[in-house]
């Protein structure tokens, strides 16, 4: 029989400390709410519930699960962006934002038969060097059958530290006929694999460069720089930067991307945190570009956005629109104007909380949280049309992922148009604008709207936020 009272004391102490952490560790903050508050009385109901669970629950409870459940409940009570991050999810998040992971370098999916299959080996990866192909079915991973296995389970078995090896049993169709296929083993040594933010990069007719960015990582600005240089070598005369379906990522990465186009010293965004009892800020950051842009200010740029453009992607949108450095085309953005800080926890070990600590503001001095940014040129597409378009683009390269820079956007990318084709009317309008006039200042004069129309205050009150000042860095 376990010592329930010992468990109870540990859980109670942990939850009390957690509550203090979530209130920035100062009981004075609670008293500053204008009412007499006893912190111990505040958490007493939690202690009573924990005590009752440990004494009376029908089965012997697992303290770790109770702790995680309590933390999840606290975070979920705050807002939709604050959350508890278990150890495994935190490791995955770190890999994604760092721009690399350790594995063999394949993306996997469930094929039409429900089998774990290779969607695409990353060029130059250990998987590509080992001769793995798109469409290969992974029958076994280290002799473990994959039939009925989830993608997460398969991914966990394939990934591992650099220098270690994994053995895959592969089934490969010959000439597309299953009965003529063969099964063989491939041993692949794992390594550090880069994760790309660029989903597509090409030069369209008329020398119009097109780059679609899916998220914001540490490496995103470097990736865009490489693509811009490549497209310039291919004759790019203007640029469309597509941030549609981009849900954001690292906060600082937004500055890194914006400074590719804005003059040095340009304000990209700033944050405002909660007023404290002594009048100081819980968080305050001011991000300005720190280097000269890689494209001249006269180089024509159009930015594509839609209702799925969020977070860091909206920071870039707000900055480029405010400084009239890009003509924004599409539909109103999502409206995620808050900053989340990842705070590691001592227990459960390796976990963390994702806590909303501030609102970010565009250079226009407004927060677009729950408000979004309006484009200069509105080109409406329904959510159904947007979903069908992205599905069409993905389907167009399913059989040959190496042609990812030739995705089907309809007639604007030279693809055959049928009754089922979804036309990318937003990309088409961006191309039309850039084809009108080679002098960017004239396009700006014609299409750029007053930011007082496109970036409207979301309604934060003066007692919720305070004047921004330089402060510590944060991620979201």
At 235-248, the pLDDT tens digits run 999 999 999 999 88
**Both 310 and 393 in a single domain?**
yes
Which residue from 265, 430, 456 is spatially nearest to 362, judged by alpha carbons? 456
Domain count along the chain: 3
* 3-class DSSP assignment, residue 196: coil
**Both 289 and 379 in a single domain?**
yes
Continuous segment of H or E residues that includes residue 301: strand 301-305
Q: What is the mean pLDDT of the chain?
A: 84
pTM recorded for the entire structure: 0.76
**Both 439 and 399 in a single domain?**
yes
Q: What is the pLDDT of residues 300-345, one digit of tens each?
A: 999 999 999 999 999 999 999 999 999 999 999 999 998 888 888 8
Residue 475 has pLDDT above 70, yes or no: no
Does 86 map to a domain? Answer: no
CATH number reported for the structural domain that contains residue 114 in this entry: 2.30.42.10
Contacts of 444 (CB under 8 A, 6+ apart): 324, 327
**Both 186 and 161 in a single domain?**
yes
Strand partners, 185: 169
Does 420 map to a domain? Answer: yes
Does 474 map to a domain? Answer: no
Report the percent of the chain where pLDDT is more than 70.
Answer: 82
Of 138, 161, 193, the last residue of a domain is 193
Query: Which band of pLDDT confidence, cut at 50, 70 and 90, is reported for residue 389?
Result: very high
CA 440 – CA 137 distance, rounded (Å): 50
Q: What is the pLDDT of residues 33-50, one digit of tens each?
A: 444 456 667 777 877 887
Does 70 map to a domain? Answer: yes
**Both 322 and 406 in a single domain?**
yes
The domain containing residue 412 runs over which residues?
Answer: 198-454
Least confident of 319-323, 348-352, 362-366, 446-450: 348-352
Q: What is the pLDDT of residues 410-429, one digit of tens each?
A: 999 999 999 999 999 999 99
pLDDT at residue number 111: 81
- Stronger pLDDT, 204 or 58, i.e. the higher one: 204
Does 460 map to a domain? Answer: no
Per-residue pLDDT, averaged over 198-223, amounts to 95
**Both 400 and 278 in a single domain?**
yes
Strand partners, 341: 355
Tokens 């299959």 label which residue?
117
CATH number reported for the structural domain that contains residue 325 in this entry: 3.90.226.10
**Both 44 and 109 in a single domain?**
no
Does 363 map to a domain? Answer: yes
Q: What is the pLDDT of residues 110-153, one digit of tens each?
A: 887 888 988 777 767 899 889 888 788 999 999 999 998 888 78
Q: What is the pLDDT of residues 67-98, one digit of tens each?
A: 788 888 888 888 888 888 888 888 777 766 66
Does 468 map to a domain? Answer: no
**Both 177 and 239 in a single domain?**
no
pLDDT at residue number 44: 75
CA 289 – CA 141 distance, rounded (Å): 47
Does 82 map to a domain? Answer: no
Tell me which long-range contacts 281-284 makes (C-beta under 8 A, separation of at least 24). Answer: 281/466, 281/468, 281/469, 281/471, 282/24, 282/357, 282/358, 283/339, 283/341, 283/357, 283/358, 283/471, 283/472, 283/474, 284/358, 284/466, 284/468, 284/469, 284/470, 284/471
């Amino acid at each position: 029989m376990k010592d329930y009272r010992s468990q109870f004391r540990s859980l109670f102490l942990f939850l009390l400390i957690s509550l203090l952490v979530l209130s920035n560790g100062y009981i004075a903050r609670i008293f500053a709410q204008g009412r007499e508050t006893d912190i111990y009385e505040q958490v007493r109901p939690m202690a009573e519930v924990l005590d009752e669970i440990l004494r009376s629950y029908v089965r012997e409870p697992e303290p770790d699960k109770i702790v995680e459940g309590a933390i999840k409940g606290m975070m979920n009570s705050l807002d939709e962006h604050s959350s508890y991050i278990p150890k495994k999810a935190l490791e995955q998040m770190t890999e994604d934002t760092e721009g690399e992971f350790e594995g063999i370098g394949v993306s996997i999916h469930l094929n039409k038969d429900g089998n774990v299959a290779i969607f695409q080996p990353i060029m130059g990866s250990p998987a590509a060097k080992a001769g793995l192909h798109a469409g290969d079915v992974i029958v076994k991973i280290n002799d473990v059958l994959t039939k009925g296995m989830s993608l997460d389970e398969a991914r966990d078995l394939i990934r591992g530290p650099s220098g270690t090896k994994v053995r895959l049993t592969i089934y490969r169709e010959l000439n597309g006929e299953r009965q003529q296929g063969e099964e063989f083993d491939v041993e692949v040594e794992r390594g550090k694999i880069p994760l790309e933010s660029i989903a597509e990069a090409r030069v369209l007719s008329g020398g119009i460069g097109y780059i679609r960015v899916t998220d914001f990582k540490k490496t995103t600005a470097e990736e865009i720089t490489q693509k811009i240089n490549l497209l310039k070598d291919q004759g790019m005369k203007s640029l469309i930067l597509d941030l549609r379906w981009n849900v954001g990522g690292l906060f600082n990465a937004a500055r890194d991307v914006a400074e590719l186009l804005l003059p040095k010293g340009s304000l990209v965004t700033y944050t405002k945190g909660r007023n404290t009892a002594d009048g100081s800020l819980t968080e305050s950051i001011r991000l300005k570009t720190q280097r000269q842009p890689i494209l001249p200010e006269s180089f024509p740029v159009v930015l594509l956005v839609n209702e799925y453009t969020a977070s860091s992607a909206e920071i870039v949108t707000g900055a480029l629109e405010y400084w009239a450095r890009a003509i924004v085309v599409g539909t109103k953005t999502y409206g995620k104007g808050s900053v989340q800080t990842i705070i590691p926890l001592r227990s459960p070990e390796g976990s963390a909380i994702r806590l909303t600590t501030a609102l970010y503001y565009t250079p226009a001095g407004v927060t677009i949280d729950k408000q979004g940014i309006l484009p200069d040129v509105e080109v409406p597409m329904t959510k159904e049309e947007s979903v069908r378009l992205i599905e069409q683009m993905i389907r167009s390269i399913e059989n040959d992922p190496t042609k990812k820079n030739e995705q089907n956007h309809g007639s604007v990318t030279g693809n055959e148009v049928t009754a089922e084709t979804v036309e990318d009317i937003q990309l088409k309008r961006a191309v039309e604008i850039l084809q009108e006039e080679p002098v960017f200042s004239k396009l700006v004069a014609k299409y750029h709207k007053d930011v007082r129309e496109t970036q409207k205050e979301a309604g934060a009150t003066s007692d919720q936020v305070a004047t921004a000042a330089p402060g510590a860095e944060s991620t979201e």
